[in-house]
Structure 1
Amino acid sequence: MRHLTSHRFAFGFFAALLAFVGGLVAVEAARVAGNALERPGVPEFYTAPAGPIDPTPGTVVKADPLLGVPFAARGWRIMYTSTDVHGEPVLSTGVLVVPLG
């Protein structure tokens, strides 16, 4: 009988643990979805700036520091000028990560 009781306890413990972890995952998923819903449309960074832009390829138009870059590095979200397949000037965006040192 004692053996059966310990199995019931273990089953109950793991069922409660699974429910707790599942609840945490559901709360985090709702938070992430809520953050995404609060920012509809195109983020301001990705809109072209007003006024003339130097069309020379490689000219940095905007740069914002990135959070969450790996240790020993710095990063930026950048908007820069480039050319399309026909040689016409266009704006492009990307991420630049540079090691420290």
Structure 2
Amino acid sequence: MSQVYNSTERLNHIFDYMGPISFVAHCKDIRVRSGLVLHIDEEVPGEGELDMVTALQRWHDFYPDGYMLLEHLGNDRYPHAAANVQRICAEAGIEIH
């Protein structure tokens, strides 16, 4: 659970190892659902627990002309997800094309 709530270190570890060989990425966030059994749901980027600035910046550092895919959302949530990613990138000074 610490990797969820303290995601910056884990994301950096993932990018250190996988960044050089991962040419396409899925842009998603996660949220832990309360309950008797642990359940992690995918969430609109920027509305969950992950450090999206770190994830997007590290991706951009490896692949400034690469692309990430939004996925596993209801069709009505994609415009909001795209707007969140654009906002996060703009606030962090990450150029997107």
- Greater RCO (CA < 8 Å, at least 6 residues apart): 2
What TM-score bracket applies, with the shorter chain setting the length?
Answer: under 0.3
Q: Highest CA radius of gyration, 1 or 2?
A: 1
TM-score by length of 2: 0.22
Q: Which has the higher helix share?
A: 2
Pick the structure with more strand per residue.
1
